[in-house]
Amino acid sequence: MSIPIRVLMVEDSEDDAALIVRELKRSGYDPAVERVDTSDAMNKALVEQTWDIVICDYRMPAFSAPDALMLLKNSGLDLPFIIVSGSAGEDHAVAAMKDGAHDYIMKDNLSRLIPAVERELREVRVRRERDQAEEMIRFLAYHDSLTALPNRTLLRDRLERAILDAQRENRPLAFLLMDLDRFKEINDTLGHHRGDQLLQQVGPRVQNLLRGSDTVARFGGDEFAVLLPHTGAEGAAETAQKILKALQPPFTIDNLPIHVEASIGIALYPEHGTGSENLIQRADVAMYAAKRNGSGYVSYAPEQDQHSPRRLALMGELRQAIEQNQLFLHYQPKISLLTGRIIGVEALVRWQHPEYGFVPPDQFIGPAEQTGLIHPLTQWVLDTALRQCQVWREEGLDIRVAINLSVRNLQDLQLPGQVAERLQNYALSSDRLDLEITESAIMADPTRALQVLTGLDQLGIGLSIDDFGTGYSSLGYLKKLPVDTIKVDKSFVMDMVSDESDTAIVKCAIAFGHNLGLKVVAEGVENRETWNRLAALGCDSAQGYYMSRPIPSAELARWIGESPWGLK
């Protein structure tokens, strides 16, 4: 089968051109040839058609190989250029090769033509594949591979340029950050493949609303960013409303209608910040404010921001508190609903600030998570709780202790090794320790979380899903996780006596856990009626103020001795 090849022949002799064509055909090519012999004709052919190779005579009455080579260079086309000449000397050949010709062949020795053609076609193919790969690398460096939208890097670059233009022109700009609500639930229910398809459709729908000067980018995960140059507060709010309205019609994926809602945070230059980091961070704060209140979109306000001077000061002092052992733990008992006796305790960190007094955990644990302080904080809790567990054992109290892990802890592949080392340091068996993780912490990076949890499970440590029922992993991921316990969130337990729907939810959670061979703990038990109802439903154990508030370690031994829930 002949190989098609498009040849631009720069040759004034029809007979010589025919000889070259015949040589190509004899070697298995099927050449489509156009012969030109002037600069204008060659330029026209290069513009109007595509070619695989240029074969050129060296000297013609109105044209020459150096002229043709220069014209090809100026065109920007990457085509093999082979000179086939009957008269030019060696000096001309060397000069032509230095100028960029790929080979120089004498007409009386055309046996060299086909190897040269094959070599140059192969090399140009390699060059083009390399160029395509480099172009793809450049594209992926600045664009999201899934949606083809600008990525975080390109968006940040455009934002910084837009800020410079806004400063120079004394004009506003708006930066919007958008998060798809309950996107993880879509992934869990319909699968990641359909989730990816949804992300691919969101970008174009938003982009259709924007001006040519605006940018919509995928910021990561299910977050999208929109940059609006020359836009103030009113225009930003109008755009946010348009985006939310545009997302209302369902997306169709594999013939399934999927409804999507979003939360949008707005940050304005210069009111909310004059640098890219300020605007991004404050749009993020506003976005989470919109998510909390369900309003669709929110413009940044300082009172929303946890990144306040006091918060920053607290984080500096928290580091000091960790290093100087200024924190302390309280322990809340877990009680068996079958025996009515304590089966373990949950360690809860507390901070009595010398200036602010008692600092609620939600005021320092969340910020510690964001700043990276959660790692030393978790290690401090782990050390303190295991040390106390060792003391209890020496006092004759066989108590199992549970510790909470955060999102960042679940992404730390070193954690299993660190836990094993501490258990060895305090001469404790692994069955004295439980680790509790939330569904949302797992879903931040399920693959990495599974790897960490598997390592912990192999040590023989108990693993519990905390706040069960409030995240999106219940059905999709629980079966894959090496956990042995689920803790039903207190929001469902506290009103069981007065709210039958909560009772139904708790009943389903207990049945679901038991069907998977898991133990079930109910949180938030505050009265005898709730205790009795949980016992009737077959729940395994419970925590709550009805049995005991979290108490200091020094009081726990006395509580065990005096309380009806004690060990004896």
What proportion of the chain, given as a percentage, has pLDDT over 90?
Answer: 48
Give the type of residue at 278: N
Please report which confidence band the pLDDT of residue 551 belongs to, taking 50, 70 and 90 as the band edges.
very high
On whether the CB atoms of residues 359 and 314 are closer than 8 A, the answer is yes
Say yes or no to pLDDT of 324 above 50.
Answer: yes
On whether the CB atoms of residues 105 and 80 are closer than 8 A, the answer is no
Three-state helix/strand/coil letters over 126-175: HHHHHHHHHHHHHHHHHECCCCCCECHHHHHHHHHHHHHHHHHHCCCEEE
Same-domain check for residues 111 and 159:
no
Q: Is residue 453 part of a domain?
A: yes
Same-domain check for residues 374 and 401:
yes
Say yes or no to pLDDT of 31 above 90.
Answer: yes
Say yes or no to pLDDT of 302 above 90.
Answer: no
Same-domain check for residues 34 and 48:
yes
Please identify, among 274, 304, 334, the residue that sits at the C-terminal boundary of a domain. 304
What pLDDT was estimated at residue 90? 66
Of 353 and 74, more confident? 74
Q: Prior bond to 309 cis, omega within 30?
A: no
Same-domain check for residues 164 and 111:
no
Domain of 295: which CATH number? Answer: 3.30.70.270
Phi/psi of residue 450, nearest 5 degrees: -60, -40
End-to-end CA distance of the chain: 92
Q: Is residue 146 part of a domain?
A: no
For 238, the enclosing helix (H) or strand (E) is: helix 233-246
Q: Kindly report the average pLDDT of the chain as a whole number.
A: 86
What pLDDT was estimated at residue 311? 61
Q: What are 475-500's pLDDT values in tens digits? A: 556 677 899 998 988 878 888 888 78
Domain of 346: which CATH number? Answer: 3.20.20.450
Please identify, among 278, 304, 330, the residue that sits at the C-terminal boundary of a domain. 304
Overall domain count for the chain: 3
Phi/psi of residue 6, nearest 5 degrees: -100, 120
Same-domain check for residues 275 and 390:
no
Q: What are 86-124's pLDDT values in tens digits? A: 766 667 777 888 888 898 888 888 888 999 999 999 998
Please identify, among 140, 175, 194, the residue that sits at the C-terminal boundary of a domain. 140
Say yes or no to pLDDT of 365 above 60.
Answer: yes
Q: Is residue 354 part of a domain?
A: yes
Please report which confidence band the pLDDT of residue 291 belongs to, taking 50, 70 and 90 as the band edges.
confident
What pLDDT was estimated at residue 506? 87
Measured between alpha carbons, how far is 291 from 223 in angstroms, rounded to an integer? Answer: 13
- 220 CB contacts (<8 Å, ≥6 apart)? 152
Three-state helix/strand/coil letters over 21-33: HHHHHHCCEEEEE
What pLDDT was estimated at residue 513? 85
Same-domain check for residues 105 and 170:
no
For 358, the enclosing helix (H) or strand (E) is: strand 357-358
What pLDDT was estimated at residue 185? 76
On whether the CB atoms of residues 401 and 386 are closer than 8 A, the answer is yes
What pLDDT was estimated at residue 470? 54
Q: Is residue 568 part of a domain?
A: no
Of 496 and 129, more confident? 496
Same-domain check for residues 319 and 440:
yes
User: Of 537, 539, 511, whose CA–CA distance to 523 is shortest?
Assistant: 539
Q: Is residue 210 part of a domain?
A: yes
Q: Is residue 189 part of a domain?
A: yes
Same-domain check for residues 121 and 58:
yes
Same-domain check for residues 248 and 322:
no
What pLDDT was estimated at residue 175? 97
Domain of 32: which CATH number? Answer: 3.40.50.2300
For residue 129, the tally of other CB atoms under 10 A from its CB is 10
Range of the domain at 478: 309-562
Q: Is residue 157 part of a domain?
A: yes
Same-domain check for residues 250 and 355:
no
DSSP letter for 64, please: B
Q: Is residue 484 part of a domain?
A: yes
Say yes or no to pLDDT of 472 above 50.
Answer: no
Q: What are 407-444's pLDDT values in tens digits? A: 888 888 899 999 999 999 999 999 999 999 887 677 66
Same-domain check for residues 189 and 266:
yes
The mean per-residue pLDDT over the stretch 381-406 comes to 92
Three-state helix/strand/coil letters over 528-558: HHHHHHHHHHCCCEECCCCCCCCEEHHHHHH
On whether the CB atoms of residues 495 and 502 are closer than 8 A, the answer is yes
Residue 324 tokens, joined: 């100087």
Q: What are 230-289's pLDDT values in tens digits? A: 999 999 999 999 999 999 999 988 888 888 889 999 999 999 988 888 898 889 888 888
Measured between alpha carbons, how far is 558 from 563 in angstroms, rounded to an integer? Answer: 8
Same-domain check for residues 551 and 517:
yes
The mean per-residue pLDDT over the stretch 450-462 comes to 93
What pLDDT was estimated at residue 444? 67
Measured between alpha carbons, how far is 1 from 449 in angstroms, rounded to an integer? Answer: 56
The mean per-residue pLDDT over the stretch 346-354 comes to 88
Please report which confidence band the pLDDT of residue 293 belongs to, taking 50, 70 and 90 as the band edges.
confident
Please report which confidence band the pLDDT of residue 309 belongs to, taking 50, 70 and 90 as the band edges.
low
- 132 CB contacts (<8 Å, ≥6 apart)? none
Of 52 and 190, more confident? 52
